[in-house]
């Protein structure tokens, strides 16, 4: 089983996170932000990754530190779980429709961190107690700590809940495709450099 575990303690957050890339999509999420819990649950389910996240953060201030720091911890754990990346498919591109919205996520587990993010226009400022601006912060923290080139684009859509939900579902499914072991190249690093 490819697993990663990160315990991250700062003056703003205390996080205990475990991920298994070869799971069944089972999750136990408690971030203190209900909508974010829901998004991480969807992410794990659609990615077929088992995910446990416990966070005690300064949400009395706002959700920024909690969401960003979980992105950092998730990226670190994901990178740990991948090891030397031997045999992985490496790339994943997925389109996910969510009612009136359509989201595309395309990524490369390249070792080169990058985020291109297009939310498809302004969103409602808040969904429950979740600040929608933090979606980009989470994605950036995750991509840069996991070493992933990540492109996220909302093609169209009007409902903010649907657009954010589509992003998390598509991210899970694109990662699921990218971490899958390719039987034909199971003993190879998927790069002409010989390292990722």
Beta carbons of 56 and 14 less than 8 angstroms apart: yes
Give which of 144, 143, 163 is closest to 154, Cα–Cα: 163
Domain ranges of the chain: 3-185
User: Which pLDDT score, from 0 to 100, does residue 119 have?
Assistant: 98
Q: What is the pLDDT of residue 175?
A: 98
Tell me how far apart the alpha carbons of residues 32 and 69 are, in angstroms, rounded to a whole number.
13
Give the pTM.
Answer: 0.97
Closest CA to 138 of 108, 111, 117, 160: 117
CATH superfamily ID and name for 3-185: Imidazole glycerol phosphate dehydratase; domain 1 (3.30.230.40)
Cα separation, 165 vs 179, in Å, equals: 21
Instruction: Per residue of the chain (196 residues), give pLDDT as tens.
Output: 899 999 999 999 999 999 999 999 999 999 999 999 999 999 999 999 999 999 999 999 999 999 999 999 999 999 999 999 999 999 999 999 999 999 999 999 999 999 999 999 999 999 999 999 999 999 999 999 999 999 999 999 999 999 999 999 999 999 999 999 999 998 998 898 888 8
CB 43 within 8 A of CB 35: no
Compute CA distances 110 → 7, 105, 107, 190, whole Å. 25, 15, 9, 9
Residues 153 and 104: beta-carbon distance below 8 Å: yes
Residue 2 CB neighbours (<10 A):
17
Shortest CA distance to 77 belongs to which of 133, 27, 25, 2?
A: 2
What are 120-141's pLDDT values in tens digits? 999 999 999 999 999 999 999 9
CA distance 47 to 97: 16
The predicted structure's pLDDT at residue 2:
97
């Amino acid at each position: 089983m490819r697993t990663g575990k990160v315990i991250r303690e700062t003056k703003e957050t205390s996080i205990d996170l475990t991920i298994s890339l070869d799971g069944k999509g089972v999750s136990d999420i408690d971030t203190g932000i209900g909508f974010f819990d829901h998004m991480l649950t969807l992410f794990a389910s659609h990615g077929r990754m088992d995910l446990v996240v416990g966070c005690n953060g300064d949400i009395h201030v706002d959700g920024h530190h909690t969401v960003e720091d979980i992105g950092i911890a998730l990226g670190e754990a994901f990178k740990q779980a991948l090891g030397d990346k031997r045999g992985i498919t490496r790339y994943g591109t997925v389109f996910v429709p969510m009612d009136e919205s359509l989201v595309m996520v395309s990524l490369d587990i390249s070792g080169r961190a990058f985020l291109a993010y297009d939310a498809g226009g302004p969103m409602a400022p808040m969904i429950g107690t979740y600040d929608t601006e933090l979606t980009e912060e989470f994605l950036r923290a995750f991509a840069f700590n996991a070493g992933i080139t990540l492109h996220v684009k909302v093609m169209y859509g009007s409902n903010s809940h649907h657009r954010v939900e589509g992003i998390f579902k598509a991210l899970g499914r694109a990662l699921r495709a990218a971490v899958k072991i390719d039987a034909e190249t199971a003993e190879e690093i998927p790069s002409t450099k010989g390292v990722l």
